Structure 1
Amino acid sequence: MTISFQYNKKQVIQALRYHFIAKKEIRIMIIMVNVFAIASLIWYMMGKITPVAFLTYSLLWIVLMIAIWFVLPGFVYRKAETFKHGFSMHFNEDDFTLEHETGSRSWPYTALHSFRETPHFFHLYFDTRSFLLIPKDAFVTNEQMLQLHNLLKAKVG
C-alpha cells in the first residue's frame, strides 16, 4: 500500500498535544498541579490562605495549561521542518518506507517501539521521543486505513 500526504498545521498541533499529554511525566505533573489547585481552593474557602495566594496558585495552573496546550506544540511545530514537506509512504509486509523529494528511508516494523492512533493520525514511535505522524486523511478509503491499523497491530503489538 502506498500513500502520499502533506501535513495540516492544525491537525499536527492537535497530534502533538496528544503526544505530550500521553507522556507519563506530563500527566503526573498535570495531576499534581490540579490537586494543588483544588487544595488551594479548599484552603482559601476555609480561610487558611489569602486571596493573593489563591490567585497565585490559580495563575500557576493557567500558565502550565497554556504551556502544555499551546506553547509546547507550537514550538515543536515551528522547529521541525518535517511538517512543511510532502511525503510518500510505502507499507509492505516486512517494512515501511518514507520518501521525500531528497531521498527515502526504510525501517523494519521491529524498529518501532509502539504505535498510537488518534483522531487524525497514526503515531509510529521508534522510542519515547522519536516518532512519525501518518495522517489518516492520506488514505483513499477506510479499508486502507483499517488495513494499516491491522498491519501495525500485528507487527508492532
Structure 2
Amino acid sequence: MTIQIGDTLPAGTLTENTPANKVDVLEALGTGKHVLFGVPGAFTPGCSKTHLPGYIADYDKWIAKGVQSINCMAVNDAFVMAAWGEAHGAAGKVRMLADADASYTKALGLDVESAGLGGTRCKRFAMVVEDGKVTHLQVEPDSFGLSCSLSDSLLAQL
C-alpha cells in the first residue's frame, strides 16, 4: 500500500556515504520538519539535470519555510549516491541516502519495476514530513515524470 498524507513514516534503514553508515529513517525524520524526495536513479538525465539541482538551488527557500533537512533517496548503493551528491554540490544542503535493496522504497509503496532501468526503482516523489507524519506528498503520475515532485512544485504547496 502506498504511503498517504497523514500516515506515519515506516521504520527503516537507509545508508549514507558507505554501506556501513546506517541511517535510521525515524531518527533522522521523526522530529521536526523535513523534505524527503525520491528519484529513479542517481546520474540519470532527469534526476541530474532537473530534480536534484532544484532542491539544491532552493535550499534557502526550504529553510525559510522551517524545513530542517532535505533528503534525497534512490535505489542505488551508498557510494553512487555519495558520488552523485558530490558531483552536484549537495553537501550541506541535500542529504544523499541510498536504499540499495529497495526495502524502504517498498515499505513506502513507492517502488516500480522497470527492466530498462535495472529492475526495481523508486517512483519519483516528494514529501514533507513533520514529526514523522507525511503532511504533503506528490508522486509523479507516470512514476518517472518531472512535474509535481519538483522542488518548486512542492514549495508551492506550503
More strand by share: 2
Q: Which has the larger radius of gyration?
A: 1
More helix by share: 1
Q: Say yes or no: TM over 0.5.
A: no
TM-score (norm 2): 0.29
TM-score (norm 1): 0.29
Highest RCO, 1 vs 2 (Cα 8 Å, sep ≥ 6):
2
